[in-house]
């Protein structure tokens, strides 16, 4: 159920808006400032369009577009003027908002960062993308894990960004930490359309969790982002699916209380619980070991594929980036 997109909001509902923002082209500080104003104006549009809306979600790259420009002059800071403008817009219009910035990193390449701000203008969640889309994106891998935060009307929110959603472990971590609504923001283009759809649905069903997902839309003269916001219920069934129309705000009402109920009462397909309690019909409490080789190897720092030495793309040189000389969390050799 989506309450006709939030027109008929229930007492326990959370109305989410997904802004299929026009793909921008930003190369200068002046253009960054103008794009910030444009995003803030759309926060106002969201409130006017749907007075019941609780949360407006903007896509990845809502400020910077898809140029992958790492010029320090247009990088943002967590307490910079762009974020302060977002805070002011949420406070003015009394609405929660999710935004994207490319964050200046004094120790390396910039971070691809997502922020959730509440309706009083307070930052509730600050996340750095764990899985930049290689070999295309030059961003530093995130170092803050996957945070969750309390959201509107009994919800618990998490945020992942674009390529993150192709790794089932990301959505599982969000659910494991208590999220009943997972946001996924993206700048994807049309070749990813099918993968986008099936992962948004799988991430929801496999974790008994609502997923709310949105891409940029339109063209910047080089790329065409696909829009296609979609909200998926905890049973994996889409509640609403958008289109490719730039600047349209797709809306749906979701019920975090029903997610919480399902996690408590489902027997069949309560996957997030059963993953850590294997075969509880046969053994008391289920098996609670870790039978997965890749998990042990990843923790031990020896994650290696059987075909590792045959992988061709292992840095960003095919996309024009020089080979990195610095290990993660360290300095150049």
Give the mean pLDDT of 163-192. 97
285 located within any domain = no
Instruction: Report the chain's mean pLDDT, rounded to a whole number.
Output: 96
293 found inside a domain: no
pLDDT at 332 over 80: no
- Residue 322 corresponds to which tokens in the numbers above? 């020089």
Using CA atoms, how far apart are residues 29 and 7, in angstroms rounded to an integer?
39
Residue 302: inside a domain: no
- How high is the pLDDT of residue 2? 66
Closest CA to 124 of 77, 87, 88, 160: 87
**Residue 178, domain extent:** 3-274
The band of 238, judged by pLDDT with boundaries at 50, 70 and 90, is: very high
Q: What average pLDDT does range 134-155 have in this prediction?
A: 97
* Per-residue model confidence as pLDDT tens digits over 20-62: 999 999 999 999 999 999 999 999 999 999 999 999 999 999 9
Total tally of structural domains belonging to the chain: 1
Asked if residue 179 is part of any domain, the answer here is yes
Do the domain assignments include residue 231?
yes
pLDDT for the residue 4: 87
Question: Phi first, then psi: what are they for 18, rounded to 5°?
Answer: -115, 110
In a domain, 257, yes or no: yes
**319 occurs within a structural domain:** no
Q: What is the pLDDT of residue 58?
A: 98
Mean pLDDT of all residues in 131-149? 98
Task: Give the pLDDT score at 8.
Answer: 92
Best CA proximity match to 182, nearest among 113, 248, 125: 125
Percent of the chain with pLDDT over 70: 98
Is residue 235 over pLDDT 80?
Answer: yes
Nearest to 186 by CA among 288, 333, 19, 61: 61
Contact yes or no for 120/91 (Cβ under 8 A): yes
Residues with catalytic annotation? 60, 129, 162
Q: What is the mean pLDDT of residues 138-150?
A: 98
Report the pLDDT value the prediction gives residue 331, as an integer from 0 to 100.
55
Q: Judging by beta carbons within 10 Å of its beta carbon (0-12, 13-18, 19+), is residue 323 exposed, middle or buried?
A: exposed
Domain assignment present for residue 294? The answer is no
Provide the pLDDT for residue 329: 84
What CATH number did the domain enclosing 66 receive?
3.60.110.10
Name the one residue in this structure whose structure tokens are 């307490």.
79
How far CA 241 is from CA of 27, 163, 211, 227, in Å, comes to 32, 19, 12, 10
The string of pLDDT tens digits covering residues 87-133 is 999 999 999 999 999 999 999 999 999 999 999 999 999 999 999 99
Q: Which tokens hold the place of 87?
A: 């805070």
């Amino acid at each position: 159920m989506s309450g006709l997109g939030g027109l008929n909001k229930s007492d326990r509902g959370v109305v989410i808006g997904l802004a299929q923002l026009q793909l921008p082209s930003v190369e200068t500080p002046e253009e960054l400032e103008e794009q910030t104003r444009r995003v803030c104006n759309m926060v106002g549009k969201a409130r006017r369009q749907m007075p019941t809306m609780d949360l407006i979600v903007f896509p990845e790259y809502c400020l910077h577009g898809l140029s992958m420009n790492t010029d320090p002059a247009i990088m943002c800071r967590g307490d910079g003027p762009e974020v302060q403008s977002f805070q002011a817009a949420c406070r003015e219009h009394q609405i929660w908002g999710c935004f994207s910035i490319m964050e200046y990193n004094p120790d390396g390449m910039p971070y691809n960062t997502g922020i959730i701000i509440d309706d009083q203008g307070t930052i509730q969640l600050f996340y750095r993308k764990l899985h930049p889309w290689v070999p295309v994106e030059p961003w530093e891998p995130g170092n803050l894990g996957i945070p969750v935060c309390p959201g509107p009307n009994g919800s618990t929110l998490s945020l992942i960004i674009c390529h993150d959603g192709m790794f089932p472990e990301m959505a599982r971590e969000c659910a494991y930490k208590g999220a009943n609504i997972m946001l996924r923001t993206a700048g994807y283009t049309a070749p990813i359309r099918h993968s986008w759809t099936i992962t948004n649905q799988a991430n929801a069903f496999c974790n008994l969790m609502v997923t709310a997902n949105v891409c940029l839309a339109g063209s910047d003269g080089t790329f065409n982002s696909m829009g296609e916001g979609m909200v998926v219920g905890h049973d994996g069934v889409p509640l609403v699916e958008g289109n490719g129309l730039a600047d349209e705000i797709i809306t749906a009402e979701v019920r975090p209380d029903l997610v919480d109920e399902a996690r408590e009462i489902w027997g069949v397909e309560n996957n997030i619980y059963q993953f850590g309690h294997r075969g509880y019909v046969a053994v008391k409490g289920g098996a609670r070991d870790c039978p997965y080789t890749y998990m042990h190897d990843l923790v031990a720092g020896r994650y290696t594929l059987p075909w590792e030495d045959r992988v061709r793309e292992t840095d960003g040189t095919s996309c024009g980036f020089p080979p990195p000389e610095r290990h993660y969390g360290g300095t150049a050799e």
